Every structure is written in C-alpha cells, then in structure tokens.
Amino acid sequence: MQGSDDGILGRGYGRDGGDDGGSNVVLSIIIPTYNESENIPHLLRSIRDSIQLLLKQLDARAEIIIVDDDSPDGTADVAESNSTHITDEARLSVKILRRYGRRGLLSAVLDGLKNAKGSNVVVMDADLSHPPPLIPTMLDELIQDRCDLVIASRYVDGGSVENWSMKRKALSVSANMIARMILNLNVKDAVSGFFACKRWVLEGIEFTTSGYKILLEVLVKVNNIRVKEIPYTFVNRSHGKSKFSTKIAIDYLRAVWLLYRYGRKKRREERRGSVLFLSRAARFYTVGASGLLVNYGTASLANSLLANVHIATLTGILCSITSNFILNKLWTFEDTDLAVMYTLKQYSYYMGLSSVGGALQFLLTHLLSQIYGMNYNLALLIAIGLASMWNFLSNKKWTFKERIWG
C-alpha cells in the first residue's frame, strides 16, 4: 500500500480543500474496487443521489472511500475524474486510496477503514449489485440507535437475488449455510458483502483471516452487539467480471475453519473464566472463615493479656482483617507484586471496601428486621450473604484489579 500522503487523493471537505478533520462526518462508505471502471461513474452518482437528502436533513457530511488495487482498467483514474462531479464541498467527498502490489478484498476494506472518519461505516461492492438507495435506511437504523450493525440481506423475507446462474446461487447458499452452521450464527445472510455499522464495531476487531467475507469475521468476533437484517434484492453485475474464483472459495473455507477454531478457543476461555471465578470465590470465603478464628483467638488473647474488652475486640477485628488481606493477596488472588507502597495501597482499599461491607450488613439487618419485620436471624443471614458478596466482588475489582467475571 502506498503511504497515505501519496496514495490518497482527497477531494476535500470544506473550503480549504483537503482538511476533512473528521468533524460531523456521519458516514464513510468503503468500496473496494478491482477493474470496475465501467461501474464507478454510475455508482458514484447513485450514491450521491441516494444520500444527499438525508445528509442535508442531518446537516452532516459523508465520504466515499474507494480502495483500488491498481486496476489495469484504470478504475482509480475514472473514479478520480468522476469524483469532481459528485463532490459537494459541504456534504460529500471522495477519497481514492490506490494500493500498489497488493490484492485482496478484506485487506482493501481494512485499509479503507484506517482512513475512515465517519462515525458510521458502510461496506459495499462497486458493481451495483448493492443498491445505493438502501444506504439511507441502513444509516437511519444506526443513527436512531436501533442496532449497531445492519446487514443488507438477501435471505430474509423480502430479500432476493436477480439474474444469478444456478451454480452461483448454489455456491452462495451453501457458503452461507456452512458459515451459519459451523460458526453458529444467528443471522440469515452471514456472507453479505453489503452492511453498515458503527465504526467502533469494526475498530474493535483484530482481523486475522484473509477471507473474502469481512462480515463473517465481524459476526464471530464481536460480542454483544445488536444486529438487524433488512431485505434487498441483489442484482447481478451488468459490467465487468466477478473476481470470484476457486482460490477465493478455498480462502473462504479456510477462513470459516479459522473462525471456528477462534470461537472454540473463546468458549474454552470463557469456561476457564467461570472456573477461575468460582475458585477465587471459594478461596475468598475460606479465608473469610479463617478470619473468624483469627478474630476470636486474638481478641480473647488480647483480653486475657490486657483485660480491656474494647481494645481486645478492636485487636481481633484488626488482626482478622489483616490476616484476611494477606491470605487473599497471596492465595485467593495469587498477587505476587509485593512492592511496599503498592501493597499498602491495596491494604487501605481492602480496609475501606470491607468497612463498606460492614456498614452494608448493619444497614440491611436493621432494614429487614426492624423496618420490614423479618425474623432477626434470617435478616442477619441475608445481610451477611450480601455484604460478603460485596466484599468479594469489590475487592476482586478494585483491590486486586481483576475483572469481576473470570
């Protein structure tokens, strides 16, 4: 890839021609191209016509990022000359990213993403199979925050495919079925090349496959996002040739396999996370029980030595908190950082959080037994349970700097 200084021709936003700064760019449309010179002029016009009203309503800007792999048919030059006609200084710009000595759909999209300024991103093909008039609907879903990812789907009700040979149809349907089954995906069109999402969705992913279908990797790797599918009709290209090939089909299967292994590893780690959580909790409560003994033993020893019940009780409490802290640090949370200042800081956190736990227990017992009239022993049990849970979770998170879960 060329460096962005000499590789990208910017048709800039704003009056200073080139400073797009990133402000108020609501949408980046990333389009990988290879030998699409016949499609590009119509595509650019169609995108502009489709989104200009929405951009005006939103008072926002959009950018089209074309990522071309030095197409022999001069796609990048055609795009550049046509971009002049559709650029609207206030609303729409076109960036052309020219890559030399590289090929690949996924990497092209990722390079486009690196240059994207929009808070939302659309990924689409250049061959007009993906209808630009759908873009405002997709963007609206994101802007209204109804979801984080919108898939333009051929396989939900209302979606379809036009002018595909039986062979192409069979290939697409089986590629989709393989992915959905093996990767356990809950969407109808997991291999759509046309989708929109909030930019952070893509930025949070470490892409590792060189697969043809970026959406697959997104669906497998991203957690807890809201996905919506909206129907569209895929129209087969009328100009240029599909780059689909046997090599791409093999790459696709390899990507599915890698993503399957990724999912399996993640599930294992999650299982390990729950085991770790339970073992930490078991240790924490064991330490708590040992604290009762320390508390009792040191308090009665102090009382027999000093003959002062208040000092004796305080000694018991302090000794048990201290021994609990030491055991929890070394055993429960296996924290081997023994630096003095750091440990003292942890100790003060531990005391503070445990005091909050004590106060919680006190208040809850009072609330349940005195105000709600619950049996005192039951109220005490509930309050101790909740307070000890607080002690465990808050110390796990803040004193020993672990995630709550795992």
Ligand X SMILES: Nc1nc2c(ncn2[C@@H]2O[C@H](COP(=O)(O)OP(=O)(O)O)[C@@H](O)[C@H]2O)c(=O)[nH]1
Q: Between residue 114 and residue 133, which ones bind Mg ion under the rule CB under 5 A?
A: 125, 127, 129
Contact partner, 36, from Mg ion, ligand X, none, Cβ < 5-8 Å per class: ligand X
Q: Give yes or no for residue 34 binding ligand X (CB under 6 A).
A: yes
- Our CB check for Mg ion shows the closer of 129 and 332 to be 129
Any idea what the Cα angle at residue 292 is, between residues 290 and 294, rounded to 5°? 70
Q: Give yes or no for residue 63 binding ligand X (CB under 6 A).
A: no
- Our CB check for Mg ion shows the closer of 33 and 129 to be 129
Q: What element of type H or E holds 260?
A: helix 246-306
Backbone angles phi, psi at 141, to 5 degrees: -55, -40
Q: Give yes or no for residue 4 binding ligand X (CB under 6 A).
A: no
Using the structure block, give the residue that is written with the tokens 């060189």: 210
Backbone angles phi, psi at 308, to 5 degrees: -135, 110
Q: Give yes or no for residue 392 binding ligand X (CB under 6 A).
A: no
Q: Give yes or no for residue 80 binding ligand X (CB under 6 A).
A: no
Would you say 214 and 121 are in contact if contact means Cβ atoms under 8 Å apart? no
Q: Give yes or no for residue 35 binding Mg ion (CB under 5 A).
A: no
From residue 193 to residue 232, the character string flagging contacts with ligand X as x (rule: CB under 6 A) and all else as - is x---------------------------------------
Q: Give yes or no for residue 141 binding ligand X (CB under 6 A).
A: no
With H, G, I as helix, E, B as strand and everything else as coil, classify residue 233.
strand
Q: Give yes or no for residue 103 binding ligand X (CB under 6 A).
A: yes
Would you say 103 and 96 are in contact if contact means Cβ atoms under 8 Å apart? no
**Selected range binding ligand X among 29-37, 198-206, 347-355, 375-383, rule: CB under 6 A:** 29-37
Q: Give yes or no for residue 33 binding ligand X (CB under 6 A).
A: yes
Beta-bridge partner residues of 94: 64
Beta-bridge partner residues of 231: 153
- DSSP symbols for 142-160: HHTTS-SEEEEESSSTT-E
Would you say 19 and 53 are in contact if contact means Cβ atoms under 8 Å apart? no
Q: Give yes or no for residue 175 binding ligand X (CB under 6 A).
A: no
Rounded least distance, CB 122 to ligand X, Å:
13
Three state DSSP letters for 366-389: HHHHHHCCCCHHHHHHHHHHHHHH
Q: Give yes or no for residue 67 binding ligand X (CB under 6 A).
A: yes
Which spans of this chain sit near Mg ion (rule: CB under 5 A)?
A: 125, 127, 129
Which spans of this chain sit near ligand X (rule: CB under 6 A)?
A: 32-34, 36, 67-69, 103-105, 108, 125-127, 129, 193, 242-244
